[in-house]
Amino acid sequence: MRWVRPFSVAMAVLCAACAMPESRLPDLPRDAVAAEQRAQQIAQLRQYYAELRRVDAVAFRLRTANVADCKDWVSAQIGLYAVTPRSLPRRYQSYTAEALGIGWTRPTAISVAGDSPAAKAGIRTGDEITALNGELIPVWGTAGWMRRWLKANGTKPVAVNVRRDGDDRVITVTPVMACAIPITYVVEAEANASASDTKITINSGMAALAYTDAQLALIIGHEMAHANLGHLGKQRWNQLVGTAGGALIDVGILAGGVSTSGAFARQFGKFGARAYSVNFEREADYVGAYYAARAGYDLAGAEEVWRRMGMASPANILPNYSHPVTAARFVQLQKVTAEIAEKKRRHQPLVPELKYVTVEHDPAPEEATSMKF
Ligand SMILES: [Zn+2]
């Protein structure tokens, strides 16, 4: 840009009097820095996709095992994620082909979830996927196009044109119905995950705390439970109730001649949003554990993840208004794991009990009513 040079000259003049480091620093050859920059970008993208494959694989098992709980938000899927460099964000495009070993002209499978219809039919990571039932797959917006195509197709078998090592073949894949809430995996060091009205987001810092796939299944299952149980809507409702209550007080005080400028409405709204927040979190942990168990994950010892969370974010060891303390989550998970193991032993369906489990009392699963929610 034209102004950059005058700007740096001005800075240099201005900073003639600035304090400077005393050491004589080595020269930094521009080429060496650029080459290292590219090497780091490639390594980062490879690591990202390796981690994404793990998240995808665990999520796919959760999606299919819990399809009945996802209500209307389900679609036919085959557990395959294919891209071209063009279908990815522009900032990756210059090095995606090299990083992932994929071509520009045909979409390539970069994630095939284990046990998914695509994997069972023999499609592998690295296969070029060129057409579905003879329809060419676009090289732009590839994943979204395939998602929509499969959704419209339903569970009817699909002829997938696959090119592997230069050989063309047609592989028939039968899609299955699965939970369709999108899951975004982001490189973010903070140990966090979230569910909004439209998607689940898993931070890499959170996935890194999950040493086992069972623990990752608990994390994703927790967010799926938030979405399926409508927690966000319930929290908004509580906020509305709080705001309305506070507004009544504001009006009352105003009638007495003092303006509060809506302070009570704002404050009560906040309290409303926090009402039951801790129990919503506990419920998401509880139901999410059932999701993970239904997907076939063994939860024995998985509670360790809450100790690691306490180490990574010490604030979570102490009480706060939004989340249960990590110790409570640890103990609850031990109890839920025992509850699920007992149901398995009795050959009972893995259906969560319809009331909150408390840390202090045994949930006595055989006495409580058990029904689908
Ligand atoms: Zn949560």
Which tens digit of pLDDT belongs to each residue from 134-155? 999 999 999 999 999 999 999 9
Q: How far is the CA of 282 from the CAs of 150, 208, 305, in angstroms? A: 35, 22, 15
For residue 280, pLDDT over 50 is answered with yes
**Side-chain-side CA neighbours of residue 302 (13 Å):** 27
pLDDT tier, 217 (very low <50, low <70, confident <90, very high otherwise): very high
- pLDDT tops 50 at residue 360: no
d(CA 107, CA 49): 15
Residue 26 has pLDDT above 90, yes or no: yes
Q: Residue 324: pLDDT above 50?
A: yes
Ligand 1 mean position, distance from CA 96 (Å): 33
C-alpha 98 to ligand 1 mean position (Å): 37
The Cα–Cα gap between 193 and 296 comes to 22
Distance from the alpha carbon of residue 278 to the mean position of ligand 1, in angstroms: 9
What's the mean per-residue pLDDT of the chain? 87
Cα–ligand 1 centroid distance for 16 (angstroms): 53
> Measuring CA to CA, which residue among 362, 373, 360, 364 is closest to residue 343?
364
- Report the separation in Å between the CA atom of 161 and the middle of ligand 1, taken as the mean of its atom positions: 41
Domain boundaries along the sequence of the chain: 35-179, 183-345
pLDDT of residue 211: 97
For residue 220, report the distance from its CA to the centre of ligand 1, in Å: 10
- In CATH, 35-179 is 2.60.120.10: no
Provide the residues around ligand 1 (an ion) whose CB is within 5 A. 281, 284
pLDDT of 295 higher than 70 = yes
| 362: pLDDT strictly greater than 90 | no
Q: How far apart are CA 44 and CA 187, in angstroms?
A: 10
Beta pairing partners, 202: 185, 193
Least confident of 68-77, 79-88, 258-267, 294-303: 258-267
Residue pLDDT, tens place only, 219-230: 999 999 999 998
| Ligand 1 centroid, distance to 255 Cα (angstroms) | 41
Does pLDDT of 307 surpass 90?
yes
Higher pLDDT, 365 or 299: 299
370 — pLDDT class (breaks 50, 70, 90):
very low
What's the 50 CA to ligand 1 centre distance in angstroms? 25
